[in-house]
Amino acid sequence: MKYTKEEKFDIKLQNHFWFWGLFFLMNFLRWGAYFNDYEYSFKSNVLEFSLHIPLVYFNLFVLIPRYVLTSKYYKYTFALLLSLMVIYLLKTGLTYYIISEDIWPEADREYTPFEINHIVAVCIGELYVVAIASSIYLTQIWLKERERNRAIIENQSKMKLKYLKTQIQPHFFFNTLNNLYALSLESSKKVPDVIIKLSKLMEYVLYDIEDTKFVPLIKEIDYIQNYIEIEKLRFENVEVSINLESNIDEVKVPPLLLISFLENAFKHGGINNDNLKIKINCKIIDGSILHFEILNNFVLSQGFKEKKGIGLTNTKKRLKLIFKKKYKLEQQIKFNFYIIRLQIPISNED
């Protein structure tokens, strides 16, 4: 629920009234019981609060912003002590020279003004009120600052994730358009089907996953299958198998997270390889972990090197941003197969 500026002001004002009202009531009851004189307690608290309130707000809105929030603690201490002395002088004057015995005959006049014990006692009483109000005020500032920093970090993460998603496989679309152009020159019957699949891919990337943190895994699999069909235009002899070992209907993953692994399988596995084979395995472990595995063969004579394309690099960055340390990514070469295994927590977020 959002409030207008006027409503927020009213709420803040009500909070201040509640604070002072409850604080006055607590002091009134405490001192009334202590002296067994509630009339005296009421009068003394009216006097005390006429000094408490200006001191507290002077501290909250002048001293703290000017000195505490700027780390000028020595100046703050000096200014606060000076303020306490002013309050002491005012309180002493009100008690002894302004309020007559006719108005306040029960007022305690047994102590001596300007005596060190009396000064310390009065200042401690004022500091008690100032400390409570300051603690509440500084806690509110800390909570607001923490929320602001959290919002900044979250926004930065969103912007970074959005940027990383825009970097995913732009060359794939250019290659597809080139292949489509070549097919059109041949008047191939494949053109309509390729256009439909390409439009689905672009619709998914541009609209379906916009500002979406997680998407159903089944949609990612559909995207992967369309991607495979288009890539087959470039590879005459390619065999791709997808094995879903578990029910994935309710599973959600970050969008375009898995496609970079498949992209690299085609990109690097297809070099000098007339018989490219790609296997994709996907299953749920212990009901909470998604295990994704992709294998592709490669030609040993090409001097295979570990893949360091922008797709995998961006995927690793996204994994760290989204899952922190709660994921596991392994890359392995076994015989003439390059294997990538990824484990991430299952999400139910939208």
Q: How far is CA 344 from the centre of its chain?
A: 20
159, 177, 193 - which closes a domain: 159
Strands 276-285 and 238-244: parallel
Same domain, 241 and 135: no
Which segment of 101-110, 258-267, 330-339 scores lowest on mean pLDDT? Answer: 101-110
Closest by CA position to 184, among listed 165, 198, 204, 164: 198
Residues 15 and 121 in one domain: yes
Q: Which of 111-115, 262-266, 280-284 has the highest mean pLDDT?
A: 280-284
Whether 281 and 313 map to the same domain: the answer is: yes
Give the integer Cα–Cα distance in Å for 201 and 212. Answer: 16
Q: Which of 188-192, 289-293, 314-318, 323-327 has the largest mean confidence? A: 289-293
CATH of the domain at 191: 3.30.565.10
List the end-to-end C-alpha distance of the chain, in Å, as a whole number. Answer: 21
Read off the pLDDT of residues 128-175 as tens digits, 9 standing for 90 and up.
889 988 998 899 888 888 888 887 777 666 666 565 555 555 666 777
Instruction: Give the total residue count for the chain.
Output: 350
Please report the pLDDT score of residue 196 as a whole number.
87
Residues 186 and 144 in one domain: no
Average pLDDT, the chain: 80
Q: What is the mean pLDDT of residues 185-209?
A: 81
- pLDDT per position as a tens digit, 73-87: 999 999 999 999 988
119, 86 contact by CB (below 8 A) = no
pLDDT digits (tens, 9 = 90+) for 16-69: 888 888 888 988 888 788 878 788 778 778 878 888 889 999 999 999 999 998
DSSP label at 219? H
Could you tell me if residue 65 is inside a domain?
yes
Nearest to 311 by CA among 267, 344, 247: 267
Alpha helices in the chain (DSSP H): 5-35, 38-58, 73-93, 116-166, 170-185, 191-203, 217-231, 259-269, 310-323
**Residue where one domain finishes, among candidates 134, 159, 184:** 159
Sequential DSSP letters for 83-95: HHHHHHHHHHHII
pLDDT higher than 90, residue 295: yes
pLDDT tens digits, 93-126: 766 655 545 445 555 555 566 778 878 888 888 8
Q: Give the count of domains, the chain.
A: 2
Asked if 70 and 176 sit in the same domain, the reply is no
- Predicted TM-score (pTM) of the model is 0.55
pLDDT in tens, 336-350: 889 999 999 987 665
Instruction: Say what the pLDDT of residue 103 is.
Output: 45
Which among 63, 136, 53, 60 has a CA at the least distance from the CA of 87? 53
Task: Output DSSP code: residue 257.
Answer: S
pLDDT score, position 305:
54
| pLDDT at site 100 | 47
pLDDT at res. 224:
92
Q: Is residue 350 part of a domain?
A: no
| Owning domain of residue 225 | 168-345
